[in-house]
């Protein structure tokens, strides 16, 4: 069977991808420092995701393993050696293994809490911003009250209260972190929705008789959702710090449930007086590296997607004569 030549057409692109592509389109235009930050950040983040996925292969021991059947119990607080590349801690567990397994814990908690805070914060923000009125006023007051509260205290109190009822696992930590971040998404989405609501194209849709939910879904949502990827990435970085802080204060993941970097650093504080550095340094570096990666990624996404900060390829218009303009750049 022969196919007529004129049928050869480019198939239409799926619609969803168009929207996603539109949100991320400016990334290709990123230049200079921003481009560098974007790639380094993405690289570090990806590396940690791989470590988390491959933890069973990569980790030399289990996160709570303190002995092997052949060699017996590991030496306590052993300096970095061949068997234990980053040494052992006071409980004789391998520091490197705890860091690798810890990557899994951190990412799990962050993913759950991001998912929860976006799925509460974004819809609430959309509704509150679009409809306004009493609902808006009440929500804004409650969210502002949560927002002014010192975030760590809020997380500690939630974790402390949940610890009695749910236990100190990944879920408790994720919920404690969620409560802290819902107001953030709510605020950003609400304020943006309010400004979008007054745009001519929304007005036009309303004039054509579109229902409120149709307007929110088709016109407001995609304009507002642009803010979410950079915010969520920066937020992920912050969530890791909050989780580590909870762990450091003893309200994070229970040691029997999984390895967590903040908890390890807390145990290392008492080692510092005797000059033992490996128990604290390595988990800390893991936090710094992961948070740095996410921050670089988030900030560069923000700079490329956020039109206020966006800097594109085009030449800068300068009113000064050429010589002066060059001198300025120095």
Partner 1 sequence: MGGKGTSLRQYLLTRLLLVIPMVFILLTLVFLLMRVAPGDPISASLGGRVPQEEVERIKAELGYDRPVYVQYVEYLGNVLRGDFGTAITDSRPIGDIIRENGAATLELTFFAMIVAIVVGVTFGLLAGRYRDTWIDGGGRLFGILIYAMPVFFLGLMAQLFFGSYLGWLPTSGRASPLVDATLVTHTNIYTIDTLIDRDRDAFVDVVKHLILPAVTLGLVTAGVFIRLIRVNVIRTMKDDYIEAARARGIDERSVVYHHAFRNALVPVITVVGLTVALLLSGAVLTETTFNWPGIGKTLISYLENRDYPAVQGIIIVFALVVVVVSVVIDFVNAYIDPRIRY
Q: Which spans of this chain sit near partner 1 (rule: CB under 8 A)? A: 32-33, 141-142, 144-146, 148-153, 156-158, 160-161, 164, 237, 241, 244-245, 248-251, 262, 265-266, 268-269, 272-275, 277, 280-281, 284, 287-289, 291-292, 295-296, 299, 308-309, 319-320, 324, 327-328
Q: How far is the CB of 270 from partner 1 (least distance, A)?
A: 10
Cα separations in angstroms, 102 against 42, 74, 244, 264, 287: 20, 20, 11, 10, 10
Q: How far is the CB of 58 from partner 1 (least distance, A)?
A: 23
Instruction: Specify the residue, 215 or 296, whose C-beta has the smaller distance to partner 1.
Output: 296
d(CA 45, CA 272): 30
Nearest one of 244, 274, 276 to 262, comparing CA atoms? 244
- 88 by DSSP, 3-state: which? strand
Instruction: Specify the residue, 5 or 273, whose C-beta has the smaller distance to partner 1.
Output: 273
Residue with the two structure tokens 């590991």? 74
Instruction: Specify the residue, 219 or 248, whose C-beta has the smaller distance to partner 1.
Output: 248
179-193 core/surface letters (b: 16 or more CB in 10 A; e: else):
bbbbbbbbbbbbebb
Q: How far is the CB of 208 from partner 1 (least distance, A)?
A: 32
d(CA 120, CA 135): 15
For 19: left if phi > 0, alpha if psi spans -120 to 50, otherwise beta; the answer is alpha
Q: How far is the CB of 204 from partner 1 (least distance, A)?
A: 28
Instruction: Specify the residue, 5 or 319, whose C-beta has the smaller distance to partner 1.
Output: 319
Q: At residue 59, what are phi and psi to the nearest 5 degrees?
A: -70, 130
Q: How far is the CB of 225 from partner 1 (least distance, A)?
A: 22
State the DSSP string of 259-296: --HHHHHHHHHHHHTTT--HHHHHHHHHHHHHHHHHHH
Instruction: Specify the residue, 137 or 217, whose C-beta has the smaller distance to partner 1.
Output: 137
Instruction: Specify the residue, 57 or 308, whose C-beta has the smaller distance to partner 1.
Output: 308
Q: How far is the CB of 318 from partner 1 (least distance, A)?
A: 9
């Amino acid at each position: 069977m022969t196919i007529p030549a004129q049928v050869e057409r480019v198939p239409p692109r799926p619609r969803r991808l168009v929207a996603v592509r539109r949100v991320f389109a400016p990334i290709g235009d990123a230049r200079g420092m921003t481009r560098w930050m974007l790639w380094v950040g993405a690289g570090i983040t990806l590396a940690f995701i791989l470590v988390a996925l491959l933890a069973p292969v990569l980790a030399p021991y289990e996160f709570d393993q303190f002995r092997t059947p052949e060699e017996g119990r590991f030496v306590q607080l052993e300096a970095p050696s061949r068997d234990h590349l980053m040494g052992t801690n006071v409980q004789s567990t391998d520091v490197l293994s705890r860091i690798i397994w810890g990557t899994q814990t951190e990412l799990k908690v962050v993913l759950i809490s991001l998912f929860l805070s976006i799925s509460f914060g974004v819809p609430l923000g959309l509704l509150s911003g679009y409809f306004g009125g009493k609902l808006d006023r009440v929500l804004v007051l409650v969210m502002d009250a949560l927002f002014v509260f010192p975030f760590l205290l809020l997380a500690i109190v939630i974790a402390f209260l949940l610890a009695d009822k749910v236990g100190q696992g990944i879920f408790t930590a994720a919920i404690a972190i969620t409560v802290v971040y819902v107001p953030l998404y709510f605020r950003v989405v609400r304020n943006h929705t309010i400004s979008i609501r007054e745009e001519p194209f929304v007005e036009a849709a309303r004039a054509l008789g579109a229902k409120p939910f149709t307007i929110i879904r088709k016109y407001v949502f995609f304009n507002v959702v642009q803010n979410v990827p950079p915010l969520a990435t920066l937020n992920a970085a912050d969530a890791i710090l909050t989780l580590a802080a909870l762990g450091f204060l003893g309200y994070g993941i229970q040691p029997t449930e999984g390895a967590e970097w903040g908890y390890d650093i807390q145990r290392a504080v008492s080692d510092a007086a005797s000059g033992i550095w490996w128990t604290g340094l390595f988990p800390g570096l893991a936090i710094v590296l992961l948070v740095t990666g996410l921050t670089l990624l988030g900030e560069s996404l923000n700079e490329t997607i956020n039109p206020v900060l966006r800097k594109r390829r085009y030449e800068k218009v300068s009113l000064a004569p050429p010589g002066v303009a060059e001198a300025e750049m120095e």
